[in-house]
A and B are shown apart, each in its own frame.
Chain A
Amino acid sequence: MIQVIDLHKSFNGQKVLDGINLTIPTGEITVVIGKSGVGKSVLLKHIIGLLKPDRGQVLVDGVDISTLRGKKLQEFKKHFAVLFQGGALFDSLNVFENIAFPLREKTRLPEAEIASRVRLRLEQMHLSADVESKFPDELSGGMKKRVALARAMIQEPEIIFFDEPVTGLDPPMSNTVFHLINETHRASGYTAMVVAHDIPEVFQIADHVAMLHKGRIVAHGSPEEIQNHTDPVVQSFIKGEVDFLEG
């Protein structure tokens, strides 16, 4: 279980996270929604150890990861994977090498075993074998996301973080990616935190939804509870209402 307790963060005097309290249950998909620029990715980066809070705690199975350093932090990172917004595939490596990268770096598996696992993941992502030798700049947006998901899953992590997994994709490809997240989650049972603003499509994968607004969690519940929430801020976001006064 992941718990965020009273998390505060400012950048150059501007408060971005103002006392976040959030629980991400084990084995379920929690989606964090909110307007663009509200701090969803900043929250995610605190949980994966890329940022340190000004105040507060991030507990993963009871361990405060915001205080971890060096080898202990590296050890923690072995238990999770991240699907970054743009995929973050390594430009100088082809698809096969990108997916194989975590296994080659972190395990002593023979190359034949690595190749077998990579091809299994490619199949799972409905990518053909001829994609293996392509480089990231030769892939479409949807293919990049699927390769990135294959790389995230290759070490069978306990937790996967998705940073806006379908941003920039067309509706059919977005549905494909959400379907793959559902499929892999059902097969592996990993804990997932998804940062997104794609309403209502993202609700199809969510077990829980939390909404971030002005640095705080203003709503938390099932997709149905969020969609029927009485808070006008939540309703305004869900309905996609324009607000020129918001920064």
Chain B
Amino acid sequence: MIDFIRSVGSRSLDIVREAGGMVLFLLEGLALALVPPFRPRRVLQEIQLIGVKSMLIILLTAAFTGMVLALQGYYTLRKYGSEGALGSAVALSLIREMGPVLTGIMVSARAGSAVTAEIGIMRITEQLDALDTMAVNPMQYVVMPKLIAGLIAVPLLTAIFDVMGILGGYLIGVVLLGVSSGSYFSGMVQSVVPLDINGGIVKSLVFGLTIILVACFKGYYTEHGAEGVSRATNQTVVLSAVLVLAWDYVLTSFFM
């Protein structure tokens, strides 16, 4: 019993220590964005790696999400004779919740794992030490561009997700199930308000920063060779997905 309590306490301390470490890591990374060299080319490269290369999976996920929302929504709304509200239902679900959350989870799985693996391999092959010995700050060269790229790319991907999801919903709701095109879009225009869009943007900013922060942190402090990189990559995907969901609840309660 004592051992169990001891292990719970020890694990709790590790979690708190890691959380504190991540906050300091984030502050250092963002602070370095404010001092030269600003490395715009590196930021653009990272936007390409994190954003552009995630586009296909985001488009696929968004299309199917919109299609499922329309399918489920149609048959539920039809019971109350409210098929005309399908556009509102699909748009609000996507813009407020599904867009930011699913974009976050997809980016965490695709780009987050890649970032952790990249930085982890740099750590175990001493590339980060090599940068340090050349008087190039590895946080500034490697981490900062990724944090900035995450802040830019994830909200843009979220917006793309929302649009693609709405189109997917249109395909099923209007083209297949016969909902009026006019009511699909007019319902959307009437019910989506700036607070919904702003809330979605704020969520995507927070999710983007969280995912890339966790990915960079886990990679930067990787130990124990290839096995360590594998473990860190796994931890990145799981932890960032959990944090996305936790932040979603906190931010939703703030905006409601």
Contact = CB atoms under 8 A, between A and B. Distances in A.
A90 B127 contact: yes
A106 B129 CA distance: 17
A102 B134 contact: yes
Contacts of A85: 126
A102 B134 CA distance: 7
A191 to B, nearest CB: 15
Contact of A78 (B125, B127, B135): B135
A100 to B, nearest CB: 12
Interface residues of B, number: 13
Contacts of B130: 82, 84, 88, 90
Contact of B133 (A48, A86, A89): A48
Contacts of B133: 48-50, 77, 80-82
B18 interface: no
A89 B136 CA distance: 14
Nearest to A77: B135
A243 interface: no
Given A50-B129, A85-B126, A86-B126, A91 B134 contact: no
Contacts of A246: none
Nearest to B131: A90
Contact of A88 (B127, B135, B136, B137): B127
Given A91-B121, A91-B122, A106 B127 contact: no
B43 to A, nearest CB: 15
Nearest to A80: B133
A10 interface: no
Contacts of B14: none
A80 to B, nearest CB: 7
B28 interface: no
A38 B122 CA distance: 24
Contacts of A82: 129-130, 133
A78 B136 CA distance: 10
Contact of A50 (B121, B125, B132, B134): B132
Contact of B127 (A49, A80, A91, A105): A91
A105 B134 contact: yes
A67 interface: no
B135 A106 contact: yes
A88 B129 contact: yes
A75 B136 CA distance: 11
Contacts of A81: 133-134
Interface string A62-94: 000000000000110110111011101111000
Contacts of A237: none
A90 to B, nearest CB: 6
A105 B133 CA distance: 13
Contacts of B121: 91
Among A77, A81, A88, chain B packs the most CB atoms within 10 A around the CB of: A88
A88 B126 contact: yes
A43 B126 CA distance: 16
A102 to B, nearest CB: 5
Interface of A: 45, 48-50, 74-75, 77-78, 80-82, 84-86, 88-91, 101-102, 105-106
Interface of B: 121-122, 125-127, 129-130, 132-137
Given A88-B127, A105-B134, 17 more contacts: A48-B133, A74-B137, A77-B133, A78-B135, A81-B134, A84-B126, A85-B126, A86-B126, A88-B125, A88-B129, A89-B127, A90-B130, A91-B122, A91-B127, A102-B134, A106-B135, A106-B136
29 contacts: A45-B129, A48-B133, A50-B129, A50-B133, A74-B135, A75-B135, A77-B132, A77-B133, A77-B135, A78-B135, A80-B133, A81-B133, A81-B134, A82-B129, A82-B130, A82-B133, A84-B129, A88-B125, A88-B126, A88-B127, A88-B129, A89-B127, A90-B122, A91-B121, A91-B122, A102-B134, A105-B134, A106-B135, A106-B136
